[in-house]
Structure 1
């Protein structure tokens, strides 16, 4: 058991050492920014587009993808000019000026990696790169550079074959001793029009064209199904929409990585772009609870039993008119509204006691004259009406994701 453990550790160290010695080279052409994605794609035979998408997906998880890209830009050498007498390009390190800039960018990037998703994303990215090199290190490896003449000494000249061609209609004066005249014409010249001195080889059978592997479309369909199922399951368990989209995006990212190895799954790029864009929209535009219906809801009850405890809309508006509500002294009514994207308006009788909580994740609130706006706008107001205490008590809890909340009297 000890020998097995040591063998595993040695294999891990050998893989890391080989990765560092043959690490990807950033090309002079074909790169979009620093050439890191193009370098990985060329080194391991992967479509660079998939690598770029993987970096973008990793950036959503606490900036891990951005940090990994900057590390590759810093540590991967750049393709240089070939040395004289060779066609193989050299490997040049990153310039000192650019290295200083990248290090300055890495300092806040590393300090950014303080959350669990960012640390997990960084670990997954490094693990995928290790497995990529462990399984496909033979792909795209640069051939050994030609050795200089000073190391090998003068090379013997290659033998030059004797010229056995003769002009048609003449005979050779000194035929080579091992030259045996052809007695029959070759298959490609049944009439014997060509001189036998033209000792051309028999034509070989043409190579059969390499059969192209059929596209593995099942990778895209399976990954899309798993992403939709994971997002639906997260939503059913009560997770917010942003979390469900993040889970779906992670499944699509894993599918693209698997597709890069199996030569498939390019269709997932078209699905990952809108999912990622919607995730960014939700991050910048909070929508609150999206489990309600769509549209506008106007309620004008006249009795307490006709008032629901909560009115919900995913997108739209809730207008709750309580001016005609009959509520006696000592009675208390609890109700509220929750709108993901839209507005809430509550109209109250002039003499009823009110305790109102008005909140908007992004927008404005005007709660019985007390107003505020911006992110996390919230106000809680206790108002006893024009005639002071008495006349019943209404407790309101009004929350909107993005939009406005307004509570007025009369």
Structure 2
């Protein structure tokens, strides 16, 4: 067992060392923000659009995608300015100023992730990147050129004059300079000025004609990935809904199926049509998760209530989307009478207008939106306010209890 553990640790260390030596390089062109998605796509042969979608989805669910992108921006080098004579620009590390900014952004983000369940998304993202490098690390791997060029034998250093060769005496009144033998040999191998019959032996030393390069075959369009994934996503969402799961759970299962299709398509170079389905489905899942569970009555529209007596006021009003307006200014309540009603809207607004003298206790809640509960005001996520007001005449004049809740929208309670 210990030998297996050591072998596994050595393989993990080798993979991480290879990743660091051949890590993606952010290109000078083609990037949208920091070039991280383009760098990963070029390094591992994956469509950069699919990489961007993965970052966006990871950012929506918990914010792990933001941390992963900032880490890539910090750790991946950037392609330098092209240099004449150099086949490929040398990567250069992230500038010091930008590195400080990225670290300042990463510190609160990582601390927030550690204290929330979103840390699971960060771990899954790092694990997926490790598996991608293990599988496709040999694609487009380029080591950074760090060793200085070595001078060729006999080459002179820059700025120094080349030594003048000395002549040697081959015989009486005959001097031979270094290189004269090579010059004579080159003159002997040069073709004659006039050779109409082509009898010179080197005149027939012609290069063999090379075969024309065959064009690369076009990649087949794998549309089956898109349609197959959409069918599986519809089946997953419908099955979970039939089993009694809430709407946002069914949408999450469908979105997860599309995510798996995007991962498969990134390796098979297909499934780009899934992007158009993933973005609105993710937005719908977020909206459904914010909506109260008991607001799926299926009704959509405007609902106005103008009761004259307490008996005309229903105990509960519900809408999936729209506006509920309770105009209670003309409603009569006896001094010893207590009336309770509630209203809930999935996406929309609740407006309540109260009589002048009735004693009121109201609870106003919005999962995402604004709340004005008499004199109590709140906004943002999970805005929840409770207000009690005895009216202009003080205690007495009947009592009214309100429980108002929206998933996304506003709640407003005013008097008079």
The answer to whether TM tops 0.5 is yes
Task: Establish whether residue 363 from structure 1 lines up as the match of residue 367 from structure 2.
Answer: no
**Match of residue 211, structure 1, among 217, 223, 228:** 217
Give distance in 1, aligned partners of 2:42 and 2:73: 15
Give distance in 1, aligned partners of 2:5 and 2:377: 61
Residue number in structure 2 paired with 1:174: 200
Instruction: State the shift of 1:18 in Å.
Output: 0.8
TM-score, normalised via structure 2 length: 0.71
Q: Where in structure 2 are the equivalents of 1:3-402 lying within 5 Å?
A: 3-80=3-80, 86-142=86-142, 150=150, 153=153, 170-175=196-201, 201=208, 204=211, 209-227=215-233, 233=240, 239=246, 241=248, 250-276=256-282, 288=292, 290-292=295-297, 293-299=299-305, 308-320=314-326, 334-340=340-346, 341-345=348-352, 356-361=361-366, 362-365=369-372, 370-375=374-379, 376=383, 378-381=385-388, 395-401=401-407, 402=409
TM-score, normalised via structure 1 length: 0.72
Give distance in 2, aligned partners of 1:224 and 1:138: 32
Give distance in 1, aligned partners of 2:287 and 2:194: 81
Question: Where do 5+ consecutive residues of structure 1 fail to align?
Answer: 180-196
1:129-180 CA-to-partner distances (Å, cap 9, x unmatched) read 111110001111127869876366479x9xx9x7779979x2134335xx9x
Give distance in 2, aligned partners of 1:96 and 1:332: 68
User: Larger deviation: 267-276 or 51-60?
Assistant: 267-276
Give distance in 2, aligned partners of 1:67 and 1:103: 10
Q: RMSD across aligned C-alpha pairs, in angstroms?
A: 4.6
Change beyond 3 A, Cα 1:304–1:106: closer
Instruction: State the shift of 1:212 in Å.
Output: 2.6
Instruction: State the shift of 1:230 in Å.
Output: 5.5
- DSSP-derived class of the 1:37 partner: helix
Instruction: State the shift of 1:215 in Å.
Output: 1.8
Contact 2:372–2:378 at 8 Å: present in 1 too? no
Change beyond 3 A, Cα 1:374–1:235: farther
Instruction: State the shift of 1:287 in Å.
Output: 5.6
Instruction: State the shift of 1:357 in Å.
Output: 2.4
Instruction: State the shift of 1:78 in Å.
Output: 2.3
- DSSP-derived class of the 2:125 partner: helix
State the number of aligned residues.
377
Question: Where do 5+ consecutive residues of structure 2 fail to align?
Answer: 156-181
